[in-house]
Structure 1
Amino acid sequence: MSIRHGLLALLERGPRYGSQLRTEFESRTGSTWPLNVGQVYTTLSRLERDGLVAQDGEDDAGHALYSITDEGRVELRNWFETPVDRANPPRDELAIKLAMAVGAPGVDIRAVIQSQRGHTLKAMQDYTRLKARALADVPTNRDEVAWLLVVEQLIFQAEAEARWLDHCESRLVRLAEAAATEPAARTPGTPAERRSAKAGGAGGARMGTRR
């Protein structure tokens, strides 16, 4: 999530102060990614350092206002026009957890999958209820439409995760079935016993040659 670009997008609509930006950001995204005021002002300081925003006096209540600069508008346009890079995806805790669970001693990976699936489906139901409430009244202002886009993305993301978990479970079942049908090793016994038997056979062959 690019907080700096989100703040630039809000500032393009006019001068704003820190807590106002936080409120509008959370209203636009339905508080899905909450910000604290300190985080907002830290980001504003960096944007000002980079020449993308500038302080623009104070409002009647004494709040320090910030405005976007021409350089900031160029940066914002580039952000909107450039696709989000998927070449280096962020770390996904669930994917890492399942990868580490494969073959881990004492871990029932299918139980891990089933537990996560239940959690994911519940989250999807919760998001769907939020969407239904949002659609109870036809969205008219931009904040309502923006929040609807965010909650629909969360629904699609949960649906995709549930399908992926189903796929993981099916793959594990197929691997277990394939392992169960593999033929037994031709030579019985432990590796040490097989090496001993092989050495004994070679010794007998040498003695027969001397006779």
Structure 2
Amino acid sequence: MSVKHALLALLEQQPMYGYQLRAEFEQRTGTTWPLNVGQVYTTLTRLERDGLAFADGEDGEGHVIYRITDAGRDEVATWFTTPVGRTQPPRDELAIKLALAVTVPGVDVGTVIQQQRSATMAALQDYTRLKRQAAAGAVPDAGADDGSGGADLAWSLVLDSLVFAAEAEIRWLDHCESRLRRAAAGGVGRRNARLDEEAPARGAR
């Protein structure tokens, strides 16, 4: 997740201070990826260092206001028009766990899959419930809307992404379970074939 570009995109709309940026980000994404305010200010310092934003004094309450620069606007435009790269996918803890589970002796991989499926199913049900609430306008803190429905749409799109990801994970877990069953069946078949081959030799003795 590019916090840098997200904050720049928000600053492009209007000057803001750190807590405002955090609140705007979390509202528009339904607090799906909460930000630590320290992370926000660290990112703002880097944006200022790179000439993409600058501190423009304080407001009446002592908050440091940040504004985007022309270079920052160009950076945002490039971000929005550049596809998200997939050449180096982020680490997937579940994929790593299963990859190790099938190679570490004593791990019940079937149980690992079943437990994860149950957890993912529960998450999918939660996301589906939130989608129904969002459609009914009953989701709190879904973002301050300007009247165009943009904030509601933003949260709905995030929910769609979460639903699709959970559904895909469940399908992948089903696939993993099927692969394990086939591998286990193949192992039994090979053992039986080896025993059949050894039987004549044992009989000859």
**TM-score, normalisation: structure 2:** 0.88
Q: What corresponds to 2:164 in structure 1?
A: 156
**Higher RCO structure, 1 or 2 (CA under 8 Å, sep 6+):** 2
Q: What corresponds to 1:169 in structure 2?
A: 177
Q: Which runs of 5+ in 1 are unaligned?
A: 189-211
How far residue 57 of structure 1 moved from its aligned partner, in angstroms, is 2.1
Q: What corresponds to 2:119 in structure 1?
A: 119
Taking only the aligned residue pairs, the percentage that are identical comes to 61
For 2:75 and 2:157, locate their aligned partners in 1 and report how far apart those are by CA, in whole Å: 23
Task: Please tell me whether Structure 1 or Structure 2 has the larger radius of gyration of its CA atoms.
Answer: 1
Q: What corresponds to 2:58 in structure 1?
A: 58
Deviations 1:39-61 (A, max 9, x none): 11110000000000011222222
Query: RMSD of the alignment, in Å?
Result: 1.5
The answer on 1:145 being equivalent to 2:153 is yes
For 1:36 and 1:96, locate their aligned partners in 2 and report how far apart those are by CA, in whole Å: 27
**TM-score, normalisation: structure 1:** 0.85
For 1:4 and 1:24, locate their aligned partners in 2 and report how far apart those are by CA, in whole Å: 14
Q: What corresponds to 2:68 in structure 1?
A: 68
Deviations 1:120-148 (A, max 9, x none): 00000001101110001399532221111
How far residue 187 of structure 1 moved from its aligned partner, in angstroms, is 5.0
User: What pairs with 1:173-184 in structure 2 (closer than 5 Å)?
Assistant: 173-182=181-190, 183-184=193-194
Q: What corresponds to 1:90 in structure 2?
A: 90
Q: What corresponds to 1:37 in structure 2?
A: 37
